[in-house]
Amino acid sequence: MKAYVIYFTTIISVFSIKSFGQDTKNSSIIVTKGSVVLKTDNTAKDDRVIVGYYVEETINAAFGKRVTKYEVSKLDMVYTNDLGPNNTRVVTPIYRKTKTRTAQGIPFTKTLDTVAETIRPVVVDVITPAEIRNNAAETVKPVAVNVIPPSEGQKYLTIDVVKTYAKVLSKGYKSIEMLTKVADRAYFEGDLTTAAKYYGELLNMNTKLDAMYYYRYAQSLKGINQVKKGEEMMRLFESKNMAYKVSAIK
């Protein structure tokens, strides 16, 4: 009788594990460690991809609430510490259209004129005294000297395209590509003054940009104490990002 009870209990355990695995697979909400909630859906994003994540943490207290916002490039970079009860951490994907990126460093091949030259061994004749030469029964062999050719110089020249764009912009010539490249580098290197300048010029030239450029412009403005204008750009970012997600669902 005991053997039957053990066998029956084992079958129930295996069945429960399989049922739990199927429920998890069909879930449409992803919950990671800590209090992180990722807002996502199964709708196809056409030609757009996720390039980052916008994180908003809300801490509720008796005297009010504190909201912390930041942007990360990967999901595993989001803080996962426990925020406590009644507090939230919401992660929103940031989308943009896919495009072919050009390499930052463009190698230019420098043609070197090479001269095909045959290096022959140098023959040195050893002259012996007459009395030894007459009695010597062996032939003096020539001494071969190897000549090592000089090493070739560098064949490639690397050019920093973004620095070149920055010099062109300083002279008054502008394009969307140049403004985007220079502003992005300044933003990620912490030069928020330069980033705010060129992001502002970029949005003046083209208002139909991806939502993440409004976010970076807002953070750059806040970093140089232009808080009011930065908050205005942040509201534009949130409205554009939400509008795209609604259109993608439709």
Q: Is residue 10 part of a domain?
A: no
Q: Tens digits of per-residue pLDDT, 141-180?
A: 677 777 777 666 666 678 888 889 888 888 888 899 999 9
Choose the final residue of a domain: 97, 119, 143. Answer: 97
Looking at residue 119, what DSSP letter applies? Answer: P
Choose the final residue of a domain: 97, 116, 146. Answer: 97
Judge if 244 and 164 occupy the same domain: yes
Q: Tens digits of per-residue pLDDT, 22-33?
A: 333 333 334 344
pLDDT more than 70, % of the chain: 58
Domain count across the chain: 2
Q: What number of residues does the chain have?
A: 250
Q: Tens digits of per-residue pLDDT, 92-102?
A: 998 887 765 55
CATH number of residue 234's parent domain: 1.25.40
Q: Is residue 46 part of a domain?
A: yes
Is residue 12 scored above 60 in pLDDT? no
3 state DSSP class of 55: strand
Judge if 93 and 166 occupy the same domain: no
- Could you list the residue range(s) of the whole structural domain that residue 75 is in? 27-97
Instruction: Give the β-pairing of 156-157 and 108-109.
Output: antiparallel
Question: CA separation (Å) from 126 to 123, 133, 135, 146?
Answer: 10, 11, 16, 18
Which residues are CB-neighbours of 166 under 8 A, at least 6 positions away? 182
Residue 98: predicted pLDDT: 73
Choose the final residue of a domain: 82, 97, 112. Answer: 97
Q: What's the mean pLDDT when you consider all of the chain?
A: 71
Cα–Cα distance, 178 to 220 (Å, whole number): 18
Cα–Cα distance, 43 to 123 (Å, whole number): 81
- pLDDT band at residue 117 using 50, 70 and 90 as cut-offs: very low
Q: Is residue 3 part of a domain?
A: no
Q: Is residue 91 part of a domain?
A: yes
Q: Is residue 44 part of a domain?
A: yes
Of the ranges 34-43, 52-61, 129-138, 156-165, which is most confident? 52-61
Q: Which two three-digit tokens encode residue 217?
A: 């412009």
Q: Tens digits of per-residue pLDDT, 59-86?
A: 888 788 888 888 988 888 888 888 888 8
